[in-house]
Structure 1
Amino acid sequence: MFLSRAASDVTFVCDGDVELPAHRFLLCSKSLMFNRMFKHDMKEAQEGKIIVEDISAPILTEFLRFLYCRRVDSLEGGQPDQLLIEELFKVAEKYDVPTLKDLCERRLVQDVGVENAAEMYCLGDMYNGDVLKEQALRIMIRWRSYSLCECRPRHETAASRWRRRCKFWRVFICSYHETCPTLLSFAMVMSNFPRIASSSVVKAPSSRGCLDTT
């Protein structure tokens, strides 16, 4: 039934004129978003057409493949497509498909490293990926401590050490003040109180932008 026009009663339109046929009963059974859409007789239900402007045809195709076949081809190979997984993570959040979202999040968590920890934190924050946020934050804390130790001069005053620690988190304040408010809040606290990073447990900022520490 995947991309089959047989008995299809709804069509996705993306990238201007690309049409992907689908079936309402299956969409409703897999996604709460589609269930609400067709249940309440919205415009898409009346016209039998869902116009998608923010998702490309390849991403939408993989999304539908998961709904119909319960698999994502890019996750089955040795080198998964990181960008594709990120986009599917966003689509799963948009259309309320928790099984796909969890699958993508687990894969993203495995690939969090020093070079992308801040970006992955922002991704998790924007699309409600708490596990991804926690892993990214853990990596940032660990790398911060390591980098400060490696760069520490042999004879360093307390004031110099304080300034060096503050500098690390101020980088995030400059880089993410617009895209990720919660990371900004955390970075501001860390830049003023770097000793927090050495505490036994550091939790991600709450939705109110406050830092929780124990």
Structure 2
Amino acid sequence: SHFSDLLLSKEGADITFEVGSKKLAAHRCVLAARSTVFKKQLFGSMDKGAAAPSVVKIDGIEASVFEALLTFIYTDGLPDLDRMHVWLLYSEGGEKDATWLLQLLEAAERYDLQKLKFICEEKFANLICENRM
């Protein structure tokens, strides 16, 4: 819960991600500790004396998906999907929910977050099974 509080408070954040029109603050050390891709992106190409960028633009990922990715990185869990997305399962046949989960799965692959990939695959399989019944 302490890392979740850190993400929510933005205290000590040293990087900002621009995802669409949304700006999301984060902490380089937390991202690098959880993702080898973030580690390479944020620390790998730094020359001695070179300043690391403080703003990184993210393309190809919706803001809500990137927020969920950050939540996973900080908490090792997903945001409350019951509140955020599963209601779409009943209101629109699950298509938007499945699309969102697929995008999160793609983001997990992009940032090499194996546990998040597994969680998304499991939830996606459950959606498929529920829609078949």
Which deviations, in whole Å up to 9, do the C-alpha atoms of 1:31-67 show, x marking residues without a partner? 110111123235xx72122111211211111111111
Alignment of 1:84-99 (within 5 A): 84-99=100-115
**Higher RCO (Cα < 8 Å, 6 or more apart):** 2
Which deviations, in whole Å up to 9, do the C-alpha atoms of 1:53-99 show, x marking residues without a partner? 21121111111111112221354569363222111101000011111
Q: Is the 8 A contact 1:65 1:71 kept in 2?
A: yes
Partner of 1:28: 32
Query: Partner letter of residue 10 of structure 1?
Result: I
Partner of 1:67: 73
Hey, what's the Cα distance between the residues in 2 that align with 1:31 and 1:76? 26
Runs (4 or more) in structure 1 with deviation over 6 Å come to none
Shift of 1:3: 3.7
Partner of 2:93: none
Partner SS state of residue 10, structure 2: coil
Which deviations, in whole Å up to 9, do the C-alpha atoms of 1:163-186 show, x marking residues without a partner? xxxxxxxxxxxxxxxxxxxxxxxx
Which of the numbers 92, 98, 101 marks the counterpart of 1:82? 98
Hey, what's the Cα distance between the residues in 2 that align with 1:75 and 1:18? 20
Q: Which runs of 5+ in 1 are unaligned?
A: 117-214
Partner of 2:17: 12
TM-score (norm 2): 0.72
Hey, what's the Cα distance between the residues in 1 that align with 2:74 and 2:61? 18
Identify the structure with the greater strand proportion.
2
Which of the numbers 104, 118, 121 marks the counterpart of 2:120? 104
How many residues are treated as equivalent by the alignment? Answer: 113
Shift of 1:19: 0.9
Query: Partner letter of residue 11 of structure 1?
Result: T
